[in-house]
Structure 1
């Protein structure tokens, strides 16, 4: 009869007929009185959302004290009910560190780290019910049942969730790490570490190398155990940061795609698209995300990346249609309102964008794209103080990513706070030293600090990484322009002219670029060529004040050069009275001298003007125009 009832209960659960499952499980528990049958009845109550009833059932026979699985379920109920302190009291504040498995453990496959000397009997619970660490003997993990070990890992994960809700992110990070170290198959904890950017790229790779994937076992088949361990490691590798070791990521995805036919799996495609976006290959990233959404329309894990790609490629119509559909069909998902906010931002309706970014962040306080988008709205309006405050919140929430620190540096750079900008950018560089956007911003700070050699090296390094990543040509144009300005200020006029010509060959029709090229030609003494280029600038922007001023100077210089040429070519004999009269005229000679001196003393850095600049953020969502200032250097884009 017990077997019959268990099979009936399981069949009802499989069919989501929870009333039937509760009815049968209740009779089974009355017959057997077994803790496992009580646990399964509590599981069914939990599945129906009856969290208070689940806790009442578990407390009835003090199941939480005797069974780790029941304790895990009771704490989970408290979290669902918003009772964080109660959940922590159930879980205890200390992680069972003695259960951590170390990589490379030898023949036993499980070598344990020992941390305490308390007896096992007294370590389960103290009188108040709080849990302490247990006896750390080398055989303890082997004595633990597999289900109990997994429950201990699950409780570490829940402990991290509680600390995260209390904004204690350092403690949450340690709990998540311990959960994965105890049970390498506890993907919930691993995903929390990656999705919330709690570790830097270097820390992520160090952490995954420390995990004991050999602890994964397939009973009765050692070769399958080894293959399963490698398979799991490759899956985890695809979730790591794409900045640190793209070649190892590529090897993992190739193995999963060729050996296990996972090339079209949404998670693998998401990882590839994330790499494409990181490398500024936006069209390729959009193609991958679109292929996923074509099969799984409401895959919210890939949605932020898809929205960012649409924004970068200025596809406002696609953003409108997607945002409208998501708001109608999934109003309880923060990703839906993120889509609405990005659409409004793409159409320059900043106030509406800010409202919906804020709504998304309130629905999920740890939703990174919403926080970054919210901060970008202040940056788009030039509200630097509010933007700095919002980026600081993002930096506190997502400690492992360099982007909030990068954006803080960019805001301080716009405020001309070079020392603060340098400090924030250096912090971002310590987290990620291969982002072309970051290197570009560091180069701008060096440029404004008159450290031209350092600026040139940083711009060249940023271009090197961009070319290595095969980034979209449009995304590296601002860095090329910055490099050309730095070369001009450093006196390398021919090299600066070559870089400006490379920019123009990409089809750029920016009056600022034509004007900068004209300035270089003017400094190089090629006044007639400068006149030609400056006319091209005025053809694009007829009212451009910088191009107009430089054109006047170039015409004066060209006139002076022509007069000097005529003087040098004039014959000495009589018959050219007009020229001889002008040569002998002291007023003409004085005017000629003044023009030469004015041309010689003209300082290019006094020429000021405006240049539109486009800002692309790796996490998305902002374009703005602002004064470039005296140097005309574009302090954005990668």
Structure 2
């Protein structure tokens, strides 16, 4: 029959399927047997190289299988959650820890879960997770197990927990509790740089408080004397520098080329107003390490001071392209617009910078400056007040508030804020200078002189420290107060120093001319007034003083003392031969008889003229 081949084919297919099923059954049995023989420690070691090469997706794939094979081994669960955290999958990591109750079994698990909520900006939940953690030893509710392969609960981990709590409090704008947690974190682990850096960079401590903290830190936690010396040196380099000019030196030669040490040196040069030297150092750092985050703020500030618009424009664009979510990028953009006097866009970008980082002090200060340069004193003070609340350890907002009050002729409030700024930074020469200005305005000249000289003595005795035109007002003000105290020679000396810093300043020439006039040196006074008017022709004070000094100069000094001021008189008998010479004049007898020359008596007309001149001279 014709259907027989078809039946044979169907029988062959059925036989083949039966054989395949039998083979699959054997294969599954073998696979199950092989999985049971997998060496889990070797499997864990296999995953580590992927983490080291930042192949997180591959590591996650195998960690997922490892957790299943090990039936939820705690160390496998922990490192699986840790890898999820590193890959930015915070919610998955938190749920994984909850599912295996690892957050209840060990401090490391709870700490990791809290970090996941912190990174998700769920600050209250993160704080609740850590709320029961005893800040001195261990958690109260957690039975802390020492699980192999998981970081154990020790002083370092407890310090990390306190550091996380401090960050959470700071994000919730509870700076007082944040400050307390940062300090406790450092006491447990003096090497916790992040806690120390946040205390300093977020302006939580004043300069005296920073020194007190350094004395309280237990550097004996370091392994040996060399590590203690190194830690102290590096921390000391991070302390506030703008409160007192200091000598720029390096104590550890082996760290001469370290970027953090070089940044510290550049900051000191900047606060000493040596902007060119600062710019050289920061440029060298950024050439080797482009976009170094600790170097960028002082580098941008030096670009603004040196008015390098092209370099700042290029840097701002590169930062925005590479780091659009960083506050330093928009600060650079705002600084560029501030430098080219476009203050409205400058404020817009500076505001964005402060939104990304509420405690980024350079952006806050420049935001206030953008109002100040437009004489918008109320808005400038509002910006500085906001900055002062976020920068409680920094005196600069208080100093600028005082300056704005001074510009509005409110010297009492200005003096109040200067005094508050001095409490935070007692050795800052800028604060001392402004206090002296208030004393000068109150006619307390001796007190003003003491403050001015105190500010001057704060500078480093190096040739570079006083070459910046930033100190020109200090020398001019010293000249003014010396003039008020009748110390004319000192006044002249200080004004000349000011001219070396800012040569083409008309007001300095006017002040110098005024001092010369009071000291009786009218010639030098006139020269200075002329130089001032050559720079600023419409200066009313200088013009008035020049006229007065010239009049005094005319009355006191005769131009040609060997000659008399009276007009000379010559008789006709003397003048005729002089002008006629040897030429002969023929006079008729009738003419000669009509001319009468009397040498003993002046003609009437000449007498009248002479009398009038004498009267005029007496009037003069």
Bucket of the pairwise TM-score, normalised by the shorter protein:
0.7 to 0.9
Q: Distance between the aligned counterparts of 1:414 and 1:581, measured in 2?
A: 60
Question: Which residue does 2:221 correspond to in 1?
Answer: 215
SS at match of 1:409: helix
Q: Which residue, out of 531, 540, 547, partners 1:545?
A: 540
1:337 is matched with 330
| Aligned-partner Cα distance in 1 for 2:287–2:556 | 66
| Structure 1 partner of 2:472 | 477
Task: Find 1:374's aligned residue among 367, 370, 381.
Answer: 367
Name the SS of the counterpart of 1:466 in structure 2.
coil
Which residue of 77, 81, 102 corresponds with 1:42? 81
Q: Verify: 1:365 aligned to 2:369, yes or no.
A: no
Describe how 1:507-546 pairs up with structure 2 within 5 A. Answer: 508-546=503-541
Indicate yes or no: 2:413 matched with 1:420: yes
Equivalent residue for 1:64, pick from 77, 80, 103: 103
Partner of 1:314: 307
Q: Which of 134, 140, 150 is the aligned partner of 1:124?
A: 140
Alignment of 1:594-605 (within 5 A): none
Match among 459, 464, 486 for residue 491 of structure 1? 486
Instruction: Provide the rounded CA distance (Å) in 1 between the counterparts of 2:94 and 2:48.
Output: 21
Q: Could you report, residue by residue, the CA deviation over 1:548-594 in whole angstroms, capped at 9, with x for unpaired residues?
A: 222122222223334799899889xx999999958974x876x66xx
C-alpha separation between the residues in 2 aligned to 1:192 and 1:555? 64
Relative to 1, partners in 2 of residues 1:547 and 1:467: Cα closer, same or farther, differing over 3 Å? Answer: farther
Q: Is the contact made by 1:466 and 1:476 (CA closer than 8 Å) also made in structure 2?
A: no
Q: Measure the CA separation in 1 of the matches of 2:110 and 2:160.
A: 10
Secondary structure of the residue aligned to 2:459 is helix
What is the 5 A alignment of 1:153-192? 153-192=159-198
Structure 2: state its 5+ residue gaps: 1-38, 145-150, 571-605
Instruction: Give the conservation status (yes or no) of the 8 Å contact 1:69–1:148.
Output: no
| 2:281 counterpart of 1:281 | no
8 Å CA contact retained: 2:244, 2:427: no
Shift of 1:241: 1.8
| 2:287 matches 1:262 | no
- What is the Cα deviation at residue 295 of structure 1? 0.8
Residues in 1 aligned to 2:267 and 2:94: alpha-carbon distance in whole angstroms? 41
User: Is the CA contact 1:481–1:500 (under 8 Å) kept in the aligned structure 2?
Assistant: yes
1:180, 1:190 within 8 Å by CA — same for their partners in 2? yes
Residues 343, 557 of structure 1: CA spacing in aligned structure 2 closer, same or farther, 3 A cutoff? same
Q: CA separation in 2, counterparts of 1:489 and 1:435? A: 25
Deviations 1:282-336 (A, max 9, x none): 1111111111100111112211100111111122222122222222332222211
What SS is found at the alignment partner of 1:433?
coil
Aligned with 1:272: secondary structure? helix
Q: Which residue matches 1:623?
A: none
- Aligned-pair CA distance for 1:248: 10
Q: Cα deviations across residues 433-487 of structure 1 (Å, max 9, x unaligned)?
A: 2222222111111111111111111111222222436424123221101110111
Distance (whole Å) between structure 1 residues aligned to residue 363 and residue 288 of structure 2: 25
Separation in 1, partners of 2:564, 2:340: 61
Shift of 1:40: 0.9
Does the alignment pair 1:234 with 2:233?
yes
CA contact (8 A) 1:8 1:24 kept: no
2:10 corresponds in structure 1 to none
- In 2, the alpha carbon distance for the partners of 1:3 and 1:414 equals 73
Report the RMSD for the aligned CA atoms in angstroms. Answer: 3.1
| Structure 1 unaligned blocks of 5 or more | 100-119, 135-144, 218-224, 593-638
